[in-house]
Chain A
Amino acid sequence: MSTINQSGWRPTTPEAGEAGDLSTFTGNRALMLDEALIFEIGSSETTGVDFGEVPAAPSRLGGLERSAEIGLPGLSEPETVRHYTRLSRQNYAIDLGLFPLGSCTMKHNPRLNERMARLPGFADIHPLAPVDTVQGALEVIDQLAHWLITLTGMQAVAMSPKAGAHGELCGILAIRSALDAQGQQHRKILLVPTSAHGTNPATAAFAGFSVEDIPATEDGRVDLEALKARLGPDIAGVMITNPNTCGLFERDMKAISDAVHAAGGYVYCDGANFNAIVGRVRPGDLGVDAMHINLHKTFSTPHGGGGPGSGPVVLSAALAPYAPLPFVEKQGDKFHLVEEETAGEHHAGTFGRMTAFNGQMGMFTRALTYILSHGADGLRQVAEDSVLNANYILRSMTDVLEAPFAKYGPCMHEAIFSDKGLPEGLSTIDIAKGLIDEGYHPMTVYFPLVVHGAMLVEPTETESKAALDQFIGAFRSVAARAKNGDPTIKTAPHFAPRRRLDETLAARKPVLAWKGAVTAEAAE
């Protein structure tokens, strides 16, 4: 025991009592801390960066010196760290718990990836540095490209697209280029299933195509016969997600590809759900011509609250000649960066550049680190465990929630449920918000559109059985409350940093920026 005089120290004894309407002076609730805006706490005279003297020099700014105040608040370093730390604690994250957002693949982000991306040899090199000084960077791109090509069984890969939707655009532009090269300018329609991500039709439209729906069968797959019937000389191709957004494998994928090819079109596969099949199935064996790979999904680069992503696109032999610039090529033991200048004769078909510089290098280093950690055997296990976890949730829920496709067989990496059977006035959103109170991020809701009140649950492979069991318990409990018409679920969440937010107000009277002044003295 301590010999220190403890007479000033009062041991606590637990005493339960009602807090009632108890309010606090600060408005905080212990560790639940509200935080004002930097504009409310900072000042124009405060800075958290020390500079030496500004050397005296004549201005060469052409008379355009800034006279008006910018209006940027500053904070000292301790205030800055505290501000953002407090904000961070109002976020849910994979590091905090299971994040079952369907089709988003919220898996653990290994910290080795972060460490490797920060090596000065990767983090501190300029995109236009002479290629002799960045051979290691080009080698990273080359090695990652080799993995992606081999894992997908394709011919080539375009590494520069900045994110999944940018990758879709890349694949669709390659298809357009191939068709144009064959004099098939009149093929202007892309067939896209209703269950597709919104980015698919948006990408098609952005690239100048029009979009037509492909009907689905009762068991949630593309209707092969209907598709065949629609194919013809005006069809540029199809955009199909496989596994699809209902979490189901498109059994007829090969037949679809064969039919589309026979009719002169191309097959774009949305690779958002590649996690379910990596190492077990190669899209190249299914006749796919182009597929983007979200490095931030399958290959564990962090989502960061909404990007940056990275969306390399693997291409078939038919589309490879049209790949965008730049790309890395190995000649002898030296790596070259093929840019506009060197595209020359044997890359003359390239459709051009999609972004400045060389793509998301910081994501490449992370993804390669992850891939090397798992290896060919580990990646295969990734697919198996992700599918196992999703089926475990599916079969543990079918007695409390309707699972529209469960009777047709197993799901892949995500399980889908509908809000059928919930009492009037209660819906998917209430189950989602109820899960928040249980300490979970909700699943993807109301997507895909083909299932009523869809709830798409993707646990990923980085959850333990204990974590799944706890989630299933919470999910069952919330679903049961909803089914029983528990009114408290309608007002959930009760325990989050905020209650339900008024999204209608935000859209009707948009407040998109702070409009107040920033004072020279910090606010009290």
Chain B
Amino acid sequence: MAAVKKSKVRSKNTSATAEIRQRLWLMYPPRLIKKPFIWEVGHQFKVITNIRQATVTDEIGIVCLELSGVRAEVDAAIRWLEKNKVNVEPVEIGVIAG
């Protein structure tokens, strides 16, 4: 499993073994668009990946993804995506306003 740094996206339930569900936007920079990150996440971590929307252009790849599993695995999957330079946002992007 990938080295773990403190993730920017935390799960709602604080118990590491609790089953949780996270709704996320993944944004891929152009050089990473061809990488099968979601397949890798599903194999490296005990999580269920459920794609709800996706858009791929020459400029950006955007995937709306639901991740389910125990908190520790979901958090580790998110950290792995971030480590691989995928921008991970909760679906409520832009919560903090001016």
Partners in one complex: no
- Residues of B with Cβ closer than 8 Å to A? none
Q: Which residues of A contact B (CB under 8 A)?
A: none
